[in-house]
Structure 1
Amino acid sequence: LFYLRREREERAAGRSEGAALEAAAATSGRAVLISGITVMIAMAGMFLAGDKTFTSFAIGTMMVVGIAMIGSLTVLPAVLSMLGDRVEKVRVPFVHRLRRPNGEARVWGAILDRVLRRPVLSAAAAVAVLVALTIPALSLSTTPTGLADISIPAIEPYKALTEAFPGGADPAVVAIKADDVRAEPVQAAIADLKRQALASGQMNAPIHVEASKDSTVAIVDIPLAGDGSDDVSKAALATLRDELIPATIGQVAGVEYAVTGSTAAAEDWNAQAKRTAPLVFGFVLLFAFGLLLVSFRSIVVAVKAIVLNLLSVGAAYGILVATFQWGWGESLLGFESNGGITPWLPMFLFVILFGLSMDYHVFILSRIREAYDRGLDTDAAVAHGIKTTAGVVTSAAAVMVAVFSVFALLPLIDLKEMGIGLAAAILIDATIIRGVLLPATMKLLGDWNWYLPRWLEWLPTLEHGEERVEAPPVPEAA
């Protein structure tokens, strides 16, 4: 979209078809490359999660972005070269009225003019809205999704059966490995484990023991108190793992053991996520900061981009909590709240949203920097850059919001949460963040937007236009 739009602008300005393509390649093409690499770096953060599901997400999304980026830099220019001006055949009527003859969006132009006239008020109002949306995220908690969270006709008979004949939650499964699990010391330890488990009051009968044919492995099924996902079940699991098993099975020489089951799997996954989340978040933030710093030679631009994206993600988390954890969207979206957010979603949402947000943030900043490098002052560059990209940003955001919103219609609550989270974040990012907060803060900062400390002057200079024009002076480092 950005590449095609820039090529059309250059043709409208009077350039030949070849010159228009070259100009688009030198400007939007470079922005496509930078934004594509930024998105792929964000997706690569999921490799640090230590989970095969996230690894598959990372590989899949990086492949899609990489192929799209290569196609935009190779196939798209070739197709545009063949089509020429015929690319605008069969135009949609009336839509052109939303854009001024100079290529700037009418609606966003009117909004931006008001934002730039009152930058303090605009920035304060935008931050207040984002903070208000983020507040619910402070109470975010995760809950595994069960069969009760699936709303399709095929699952209703099973729900009716379990309601008529209720049973307990899935038991904890103690796996025991030894040279001979039927040997007296091992059997005595298993019997002792059964007695202590029932005596604890946190585990229930019947406790089932089964051994493999070669007598090297045994499993002990121990039903836990609670429903399998509540605090009662979690406390019982902790007692089993930390006290009972070490005092019984753990006392037999040469025996290995581990505890699994649905409760244990959920607790282990959450524990791993808590360990790896700081690594994933830190990786994404650090590398995105570094790439923006090198691309725009401005420490202010890099820091501000990180902060704006964090505000967008925080607002999305808040909407998720209010809609699904608090249950405010139950009647509208057709689900019953299970009191939490699906465990895999917060990390996945952060990485995806950060990548998507940085994508068109780079496009907008590239256009602003290009105008600045050509001699416009910061205010004029901001106005020009955002007005000329607003239409494409809005179009891209509308496409993504529409696609993500489809997930809200699916029966799985996990997918509903993902769809609403992504759609809400993209909508907020394309409107409040890019349309209000970004221009207001750039207006307030003025030439300080391009501040680069002297000790970073060694960073390479990446052109954002066809030719380098001496930019106005920026404040020097103290």
Structure 2
Amino acid sequence: MSGAEAGTVHRVLGRIGRGCAAHPRRVLGAWLLLVVAVVLAVVAYGRPVDNEVGLPGSDAQTARDLVHAHGVGDDGAGGQVVVHVGTGRLDESARQAALTEAVAAIAAVDHVVVVTPPATGQGTLSADGRTGYLTVELDVPAREVDRSLAAEVDAAATPLRAHGVRTSLGGALAAAADRGDSRLSELIGLVAAAVVLVLAFGGLVAAGLPILTALLTLTCAVGAVGLAGHITGVPGVASTLATMIGLGVGIDYALFVITRHRELLARGVPVPEAVARSMAGSGSAVVFAGGTVVIALGGLAVAGVPILTTLAWSTGVAVVVAVAGAVTLLPALLALLGARVDALRLTRAPATDGTTGWARRADRVTRRPWRYAMAATALLGLLAAPALSLRLGQTDAGDAAPGSAGRTSYDLLAAGLGPGVNGPLTVVVVLDPPATGADDPRLATARTDLSALPGVASVAPARPSPDGAIATLRVIPTTGPGDPATAALVETVRDTPVAGTTAHVGGVVATKADLAGRVGERMWYVIAVVVVLSTVLLYLAFGAPVVAVKAAVMNLVSIGAAYGALTTVFAWGWGATLIGLDGPVPVESYVPMMLFALLFGLSMDYEVFLLTAVQEAWRRTGDNRASVRAGLAATGRVITSAAFIMVVVFAGFLLHSDPVIKMFGLGMAVAIAVDATVVRGLLVPAVMALLGPANWWHPGRSPAIVPTAGTPSPVTVTVPHDRERHASPQ
């Protein structure tokens, strides 16, 4: 942005801060009313979840649209009650009576339309008669199937358990019963963040403010995302990811503002003026940092993948609300507290002068930049190397936590009826002219053609639509839904003429296979868009193209380390048992792309804070190496504290039962840890020291003025072998 634009932003945020400080009770009251309204709305209307993945333009979507257009399918969800006996058969007379009783009880549950018991001819009972499943058709979509409905169906199966039959929910019912609870992860993150904040601020009141603002803003954001499920499909991972990001950035943004505010108070600035100046400086940096995250997420729009678009806007909502809280709610709280922000001190505040460890590290790095640049590059290369073998796949219920309903039903069905029963393919054949009935010879031919394909275990009889225009066939593969061979079978079916016509393949497995293909095709477009947009933003902010390009490259290397960690832990299975997995798990196809956008935006936050301090010192001194040392010394402690908070918040989600949430938690925790230590602490200052004045070269105009208070306020920095440089007060 130009100097004038930056000045305008400073003035606007300064006025906002001053206004919030002048009417703090009104601002706090408005936020509390908003929180209460959102909570009451969630309690009254719930937060529906829809984990079905749509992919416009794909063959799987074509199959799905044909099924619904011709009245073969319905809008209700499908569930199962898996049944198993250790000895004997399920179709013995005594157990048949229990099955009949259970079918009647389940059918009496609200929203249950039809219950079909297991039968050999339908492929729902194993050959030995020990394993099968009841098909439960519901009159509500999957996103409205909640835990209470799943519990009612499970309770209705009690007659079976009374006769020694083991039962487990499957399908949409299992998904509802296993719906993840992230409260433990959030609690761990909050406790760890509180410890870091106490160490950073030295007092309980100052440490509690970031947590309070983060909790209030997070409640609004996650509640809004959940309520949006009534309007559009919102997968369960969306709210969890919004919680993860909202909690991290909410605490971080407040940390930067409070750090600046306390330093101004320590210099004798009155409370209202300190609030206004904190907003004009740190508030501007927070708005810019939040904007970079939102813009990076916006880059996902070019992917053309609805689930990524949903995850992007839901996470973006959490970031926007966190920024709003940092520039309105937090100033009001700071004004109400006044000088009491430093009350309840437990420790002495850490030193902020040139004697800090970060100042000494800055001196070492800038004195021997080649050594540190090469060492950091080698380490980052080692961390990212496993990513070269990263292969995208799809998780299934077999990857769920042992003991969960989804995992139990998956294992029982795989052992009794074969792994493919957990991931059936829906093959749709278009008939021209339309079939005249179920005895149309083309239907038998279609079944025969499909049965002859390698990798097919069985094919159920074709089911023509009421108008005869299409027919659907349920194909059971010989391999499980997450097996690459099953995805290959999808393409084989599509490439093979069935009953003399082209077959469309739908279902969860086919949709995820198409999703993986779409992500693979669009990945580089997303990377290019995000990198270019972020580089342009940095150029507009700092007026230095070299710095902008360097920042983009630095962000890429930390993301490479995250991909390496995903490959090592999930694809290779190293240490998988330590995070609650049985072994290797496929990396879900959309995870790397979503991680890229998130991490590029979050890493840019720390880059902005560091570069702001370095550029400020450069303008005062004109000495590049001294400026790099001063910038790193001034920002090292606060960036490290902020990054550590994010790391522990993200790492806490490794306790979540969903493997995909674990992937996001591990990837972001590793990337932020590497970014704040190896990249910002070693590689960036070393490279900037090597580039010298070229860092601040700009084509034909003065560098733009940027917010300088997003970092701690300028402090006296002792630089060995250089004269002591003092920052002038603002």
Fold match by TM threshold 0.5: yes
Which of 416, 424, 427 is matched with 1:171 structurally?
Answer: 424
1:197 to 432, 435, 450: 450
Q: CA 1:465–1:22 in 2, change beyond 3 Å: closer, same or farther?
A: farther
User: Where do 1:74-113 residues align within 5 Å?
Assistant: 74-94=328-348, 96=349, 98-100=350-352, 102=353, 106-113=356-363
Q: CA contact under 8 A between 2:447 and 2:461: conserved in structure 1?
A: no
Cα distance in 1 between the residues matched to 2:488 and 2:396: 20
Q: 1:446 corresponds to which letter in structure 2? A: G
The correspondence for 2:390, drawn from 127, 132, 140, is 140
Match of 2:533 in 1: 287
Counterpart position of 2:304: 50
**Partner residue of 2:479?**
226
In structure 2, the residue matched to 1:476 is: none
Q: Which residue among 219, 239, 261 is the counterpart of 2:507?
A: 261
Q: How far is the alpha carbon of 1:219 from its aligned partner? A: 0.8
Please tell me whether the aligned partners of residues 542 and 703 of structure 2 are also in contact (alpha carbons under 8 angstroms): no
User: Helix, strand or coil: the match of 2:394?
Assistant: coil
- Selected match of 2:488 from 231, 235, 242: 235
In structure 2, do the counterparts of structure 1 residues 187 and 348 end up closer, same or farther at CA, with 3 Å as the change threshold?
same
Q: Which residue among 530, 551, 556 is the counterpart of 1:310?
A: 556
| Maintained 8 Å contact 1:197/1:244 | no
CA distance in 1, matches of 2:584, 2:434: 40
The letter of the residue matching 1:404 is F
Query: Cα offset for 1:359?
Result: 1.3
Pair 201,64 (structure 1): closer, same or farther in 2 beyond 3 Å = closer
Amino acid at match of 2:649: V
Q: What's 2:705 paired with? A: 462
Assess if the C-alpha contact under 8 Å between 1:325 and 1:339 holds in 2. yes
Local SS of the residue matching 1:175: strand
Separation in 2, partners of 1:78, 1:164: 61
* CA shift for structure 1 position 124: 0.8
Structure 1 stretches of 5 or more lacking a match?
A: 251-256, 467-478
Distance in 1, Cα, partners of 2:481 & 2:624 = 58
Report if aligned partners of 1:369, 1:464 keep a CA contact under 8 Å in 2.
Answer: no
The Cα shift of 1:55 comes to 1.7
Q: Relative to 1, partners in 2 of residues 1:157 and 1:312: Cα closer, same or farther, differing over 3 Å? A: closer
Is the contact between residue 105 and residue 391 of structure 1 (CA under 8 Å) also seen in structure 2? Answer: no
What is the rounded CA distance, in whole Å, between the counterparts of 2:268 and 2:598 in structure 1? 39
Q: Which residue of 1 aligns with 2:570?
A: 324
- The yes-or-no answer on 1:374 pairing with 2:614 is no
1-structure distance, mates of 2:501, 2:604: 52
CA contact (8 A) 1:181 1:187 kept: no
Q: Give me the TM-score of the superposition, normalised by structure 2.
A: 0.58
How far has the Cα of 1:139 moved from its partner?
0.3
Give the 3 Å change call, closer, same or farther, for CA 361–92 of structure 1 in structure 2. farther
Q: Distance in 2 between matches of 1:92 and 1:66?
A: 33
One-letter amino acid of the structure 2 residue matched with residue 235 of structure 1: A
Q: Distance in 2 between matches of 1:161 and 1:233?
A: 19
The 3-state SS of whatever aligns with 2:574 is coil
| Contact preservation (8 Å) 1:46, 1:57 | no
* Superposed displacement of residue 386, structure 1: 1.9
Change (3 A) 1:374 1:75: farther
Relative to the length of structure 1, the TM-score reads 0.87
SS of residue paired to 1:462? coil
Q: Counterpart in 2 of 1:359?
A: 605
Distance 1:123-1:344 versus aligned 2 partners, 3 A rule: same
% identical equivalent positions: 36
2:667 to 413, 421, 428: 421
How far did residue 214 of structure 1 move? 4.4
Equivalent-residue separation in structure 2 for 1:317 and 1:368 (angstroms): 30
- For the structure 1 residues 18 and 106, does the alpha-carbon distance in structure 2 shift closer, same or farther, using more than 3 Å as the test? same
Structure 2 CA distance for aligned equivalents of residues 374 and 20 of structure 1: 23
Q: Is the 8 A contact 1:33 1:69 kept in 2?
A: yes
Query: Structure 1, residues 365-405: CA drift from partner, whole Å, max 9, x if none?
Result: 11222222233522222222222222221121121111111
Q: In 2, distance between residues paired with 1:215 and 1:348?
A: 42
**How far apart are residue 166 of structure 1 and its match?**
3.4
Identify if the C-alpha distance between structure 1 residues 227 and 78 changes in structure 2 by more than 3 Å, giving closer, same or farther: closer
Q: Per-residue CA shift, 1:81-101, capped at 9, x if unaligned?
A: 34332211112324x2x324x
Helix, strand or coil for the counterpart of 1:99? coil
Q: Does 1:249 align with 2:492?
A: no
Matched, 1:448 2:694: yes
What amino acid does structure 2 have at the position aligned with 1:274?
A: G
Query: Would you say the 8 A contact 1:225–1:236 is kept in 2?
Result: no
**Hey, what does 1:475 align to over in structure 2?**
none
What's the offset of the Cα at 1:411? Answer: 2.4
1:255-304, CA deviations, whole angstroms, 9 ceiling, x for partnerless residues? xx621133322211111112222222122111101000000000111111
1:296–1:462 contact (8 Å) kept in structure 2: yes
Change in 2 beyond 3 A, CA 1:223/1:161? closer
- Would you say 1:32 and 2:32 are equivalent positions? no
Letter in 2 for 1:129: L
Q: Supply the distance in 2 between the matched residues of 1:105 and 1:145 (Cα, whole angstroms).
A: 51
Partners of 2:371 and 2:358 lie apart in 1 by 18
Q: Counterpart in 2 of 1:63?
A: 317
Q: CA deviation at 1:154?
A: 3.3
Give the residue type in structure 1 aligned to 2:480: D
- 2:380 paired residue among 130, 134, 138: 130
What is the rounded CA distance, in whole Å, between the counterparts of 1:141 and 1:68 in structure 2? 35
2: CA distance, partners of 1:105 / 1:91: 23
Deviation at 1:36, TM superposition (A): 1.8
Cα distance between partner residues in 2 of 1:60 and 1:236: 34
Q: Is the 8 A contact 2:434 2:467 kept in 1?
A: no
Cα separation, 2, equivalents of 1:157 and 1:317: 30
CA contact (8 A) 1:181 1:218 kept: no
1:137: Cα distance to partner? 0.2
RMSD of aligned C-alpha atoms?
Answer: 2.6
Equivalent-residue separation in structure 2 for 1:371 and 1:26 (angstroms): 19
Task: Report which structure shows greater RCO (CA 8 Å, sep ≥6).
Answer: 1
Instruction: Note if contact 1:30-1:464 (Cα within 8 Å) is conserved in structure 2.
Output: yes
Distance in 1 (CA, whole Å) between partners of 2:515 and 2:639 is 37
Please, which moves more after superposition, 18-27 or 117-126?
18-27
Q: Are residues 249 and 374 of structure 1, via their aligned partners in 2, closer, same or farther at CA, if it must alter by over 3 Å?
A: same
Residue 241 of structure 1, CA deviation: 0.4
Which whole-Å CA distance do the structure 2 matches of 1:439 and 1:337 have between them? 39
Count of paired positions: 452
Which residue pairs with 1:162 in the alignment? Answer: 413
